[in-house]
Amino acid sequence: MASGSSAETSSLMRDLLRQAGGVAVVDGGLSTELERHGADLNDPLWSAKCLLTSPHLIRKVHLDYLEAGADIIITASYQATIQGFKAKGFSTEESESLLRKSVEIAREARDIYYDRCTQCSSADSGNGRILKRRPILVAASVGSYGAYLADGSEYSGNYGEAMTLGRLKDFHRRRVQILAESGPDLLAFETVPNKLEAQAYAELLEEENMQLPAWFSFNSKDGINVVSGDSLLECATVAESCKKVVAVGINCTPPRFIHGLLTLITQVATKPIIVYPNSGESYDPDRKMWVQNTGVSDEDFVSYVNKWCEAGASLVGGCCRTTPNTIRAIYTTLPNRSTSPPEQ
């Protein structure tokens, strides 16, 4: 586990970026990929349900992303909360052990991947698999309070007047502690829908003297503000001001908004910027379905990638409805990440 000093935590990210040739690749959608493989995630636990029913499938999807070139894999804990597991009848101990399991599965996938790299002498096994030993980070996902509510409020960011900073911190505290103690390389606070929750995370990291670095990633549905309507500049400033935060950015947001959002974030961020948009399709929370034919193809998605990097992104991946093919295309389009040996 990292020592927790801000100098060392930021060196984790600096080293990763240097070894990746300047831009690191984040994995793609986990939950939607589990669904594409047949998992039924129509449940308040969403992908965390697979921690109970099909851990092998989670491991497979992590491996698929590693073999597509991801340098960072994000655990299946996005919608895994102690409160959510208890509502299903699990004890506190069982709930905490399920959280730990999400990190264990990702670490196992990394170990298996490294074994495959050792067994395979060429970087590309021939069927498009990228088998190249490189630094790989496991990021423990922390979804928002709105994600736990499972009513789409991670896309409204509206928690009502009664919600307070203290309540949000109490909601997340034990879960974040357990995840941090389970051996990930960093914490991924994802799809953060409002400023209050970003402040809660920042204060938690400081109060708990968290021994791990973290990234904060917001979502937007208008290309200007975060989904609640809070100012992205103010939200990014909360992340920028927190010593434990080593990257700040945007996820689960349509690709067409990313360039403009990057222009905003770069006004306040000196830390590395992470973007992992969704496929551009929209989610209908009432029908609990993605609306087809509103997204972009993998080719279109990838045509943006180098422009995002020019605009300041240094970690790029995909969120909901992106697949290993999207991630492989991102990896391949990045200069310095070619799988072929350098020319003599």
Binding residues for Zn(2+): 252, 319-320
DSSP 8-state class, residue 281 = P
Instruction: State yes or no: residue 252 binds Zn ion (CB under 5 A).
Output: yes
Which residues are near ligand MET by CB under 6 A?
29-31, 47, 74, 78, 141, 190-191, 252, 319-320
- The answer to whether the CB of 217 falls within 8 A of the CB of 190 is yes
Instruction: Please give the backbone phi and psi of residue 142, each rounded to the nearest 5 degrees, phi first.
Output: -125, 105
Torsion of CA 123, 127, 130, 132, to 10 degrees: -30
**Per rule CB under 5 A, count of chain residues that contact Zn ion:** 3
CB of 219 to ligand MET, least distance (A): 7
Q: Is 66 exposed, middle or buried (0-12, 13-18, 19+ CB in 10 A)?
A: buried
CA atoms of 81 and 98, how far apart (whole Å): 9
Q: Is 173 exposed, middle or buried (0-12, 13-18, 19+ CB in 10 A)?
A: middle
Question: Binding partner of residue 322 among ligand MET, Zn ion, none, CB under 5 to 8 Å per kind?
Answer: none
Q: Of 154 and 230, which has the nearer Cβ to ligand MET?
A: 154
Residues making up the annotated binding site are: 252, 319-320
Reported as half-sphere exposure (CB side, CA atoms, 13 A), residue 79 has a value of 24
Q: Of 74 and 176, which has the nearer Cβ to ligand MET?
A: 74
Question: Binding partner of residue 217 among ligand MET, Zn ion, none, CB under 5 to 8 Å per kind?
Answer: none
Instruction: State yes or no: residue 138 binds Zn ion (CB under 5 A).
Output: no
Q: Of 197 and 268, which has the nearer Cβ to ligand MET?
A: 197
CA atoms of 340 and 78, how far apart (whole Å): 35
Instruction: State yes or no: residue 262 binds Zn ion (CB under 5 A).
Output: no
Question: Binding partner of residue 190 among Zn ion, ligand MET, none, CB under 5 to 8 Å per kind?
Answer: ligand MET
Question: Binding partner of residue 47 among ligand MET, Zn ion, none, CB under 5 to 8 Å per kind?
Answer: ligand MET
**Using CB under 5 A, which of the segments 140-148, 203-211, 248-256, 294-302 binds Zn ion?**
248-256
Q: Of 190 and 281, which has the nearer Cβ to ligand MET?
A: 190
The pair of three-digit structure tokens given for residue 130, joined into one six-digit string? 């990228």
Q: Which residue is nearest to ligand MET (CB)?
A: 31
Taking the alpha carbons at both ends of the chain, their separation in whole angstroms is: 39
Q: Which of 265, 174, 173 is nearest to 223 (CA)?
A: 265
Query: Of these, 178, 198, 320, 327, which contacts Zn ion (CB under 5 A)?
Result: 320
Q: Of 131 and 319, which has the nearer Cβ to Zn ion?
A: 319
CA atoms of 58 and 48, how far apart (whole Å): 10
CB of 328 to Zn ion, least distance (A): 19
Residue identified by tokens 């995909």 is 318
Q: Of 141 and 323, which has the nearer Cβ to ligand MET?
A: 141
Residues that bind Zn ion (CB under 5 A): 252, 319-320
